[in-house]
Amino acid sequence: MFIADLRKEFYQELIGKRLLVLVNYDIDAICASKILQSLFRCDNVLYSLVPIMGLAGLRRAYNEHKEDVRYVLLVNCGGCIDIVDVLQPEQDVVFFICDSHRPYDVCNVYSDGQVQILGEMNTNENIPAFEDIFQDSDEESDDEDGGYEGGGGDEDSDNESGGANQRVNRIEKRLLRRRERKAWQERRNTLMFEYAQYAYYAQSSALTVFELAWHMSKDSIDLLWWAIVGVTEQKLLGKLESSSYTLLMQRIQSHVSRLTNKASDQAIQTSVKIVFESDLQLALFRHWSVLDSFRYSYYPACRLKLWTYKGEKVMHEMLVDMGLPLVQAKQTFSAMDLVLRKEFYEKMEKFAEKYNMPEVTYASFVLNYGYRNRYSAADYVYALLAILESVGKNRLPEACFLESMDALSRAEKPVLDEGIERCKTLLVTIFKQVQSSLELHQIRSGGGFLYLVLQEEVPFFSCPYGLLMLARFLLRAHVAVSRNVRAKELPLIVIAPISLQRGVSLLAGVPPVVEDSRHFFAKAFEDASNRSGAVISQDFFETAVIQIQHADCAKFFDALNVILS
């Protein structure tokens, strides 16, 4: 069930109770949980926060804490599965779900109160009506009553004919009910397929939680900034359509103006500011050189084909047109000549159309604090992504999660800066892999899709978001150089080994470049596994990512080709 009044039906219910908060490994969820922590400290709410990576982690975390809690909050997880069926909780346990993944599981939507979804029902999500997908068990068992009754030998012919007529009527009614139920079942299957065939994302969970803080008059500049970072993550990772992002920016801008103009905030305006301004699709350029940011950002790299000699030449021509000497472009942006820095945005917008980069700018926000600290929302997203993906033998996922949460705090600036440096390595690794794959023609056609199988174990590509970033960059780069007119209409699937010894690989899919953020991989992967007998694990909450036995890849692709063709 949906709850619209989050203050009364959600937050006030938790005061004085102990809460278990289960948080998915993504930046939006981390930002949402950071805002929640701030609210919980205000009201002394007791909580345990546990990061989880998939269904197995969800079950394990719940089983470890179920004896101590009766209220569970799931952030960016649990909304798309039947949470009661998966966890088998006691009847007095209440689950609150704040999840940006769609579509919701209908059992959660029509729960009688044990599962409560934060927010109002969105009619645009086309959730089927209750009566169209659920039937009373009494109606389903009607056919099973009324056995065949034979007449006695001593009854007269009138009784025999009357009994025969009654039996015929009962049989006709039973057949009619069966036909009606079969038609209802077929209609239900059609509705459920149309509802659940595509996976997509809705409003950022961080923004939802921030607006709860706003309604309770407990919002602040820091909480708003964390919400902005959550929304920006959706933008940069292709989870949100441009039109939806633009509408959200307008809403957020009103919050920025309100908090900036608060009388109580006048004292801190000189030290902490959020400024609305156009940002560039150049990753980390404020903390990198212009040349490196151009080369390793997927948008300019794909537009100019920077993995080729010709593309490099075009980039240098653009720098000449902009009046930016190569010596300056190779320096860190903050070390460039002041006049060149001030003119950089204007020159980029001026020459964007000429060099086939019409969407190089987008609306965003920048955080200024102290004397020299200036970070865009995209800088935070890239830094947190790199920290989350830096799992290693001596570095557990939980440590990465906690470090990324620390990086959101202004007091932990060194952690953020370290994340930015790690992200530079991540972006360089992705670009080199794209360049190598294109030069060696490693992207193959599987019929209804494109695919790439990596042979070497690369730590950055052993994690879901690193592999998804590679796949997104690679697909756009392939479309930019491909002569196949159908390339724009094909999705791309990338497989990277997690453990060569165990023969386990990570598989990630990205939708075609001509489509929006919706994808169909969850159902397609499940059907392909059933058809081929391939061993896969659909454990991640990101349904475009699965684990698969490397030996099963060939037959899995064959089955997937049949489905997508």
How many Å apart are CA 62 and CA 51, to the nearest integer? 11
Q: What element of type H or E holds 273?
A: strand 272-280
Asked if 223 and 265 count as a contact pair (C-beta separation under 8 A), the reply is no
What pLDDT does residue 485 have?
A: 84
So what's the pLDDT on residue 269?
46
pLDDT for res 34: 96
Residue keyed to tokens 């009506």: 129
Q: CB-based contacts of 534: which residues, under 8 Å, 6+ apart? A: 528, 548, 549, 552, 553, 555, 556, 559
Q: Please spell the DSSP secondary structure of 492-547, one letter per residue.
A: EEEEEEEETTTTEEEEEEE--TTS-S-B-HHHHHHHHHHHH---EE--BSSTTEEE
pLDDT in tens, 154-196: 555 556 666 677 777 888 888 888 888 888 888 988 998 888 8
- Sign of the four-CA dihedral 456, 457, 459, 460: positive
Q: What is the pLDDT of residue 162?
A: 65
Q: Assess contact for 45 and 96: CB atoms under 8 A.
A: no
Q: What is the CA radius of gyration of the chain?
A: 28
pLDDT at res. 150: 46
**Cα–Cα distance measured from residue 290 to residue 164, given in angstroms and rounded to the nearest whole number:** 91
Positions of the chain with pLDDT under 70: 136-163, 262-270
Give the contacts of 360 (CB within 8 A, at least 6 positions apart). Answer: 280, 281, 282, 299, 300, 348, 349, 352
Rounded Cα distance, 299 and 235, in Å: 13
pTM as predicted? 0.91
- Are residues 475 and 513 in contact, defined by beta-carbon separation less than 8 angstroms? yes
> According to the model, what pLDDT value does residue 151 have?
47
Contacts of 7 by beta carbon, 8 Å cutoff, 6+ apart: 212, 215, 216
Contacts of 275 (CB under 8 A, 6+ apart): 365, 366, 367, 368
Q: Is the peptide bond before 89 cis (omega within 30 degrees of 0)?
A: no
Please give the helix or strand (H or E) that residue 15 lies within, else none.
none
What domains sit in the chain, N to C, each tagged with a CATH number?
2-123 (3.90.1640.30), 441-564 (3.10.310)
According to the model, what pLDDT value does residue 378 have?
Answer: 96
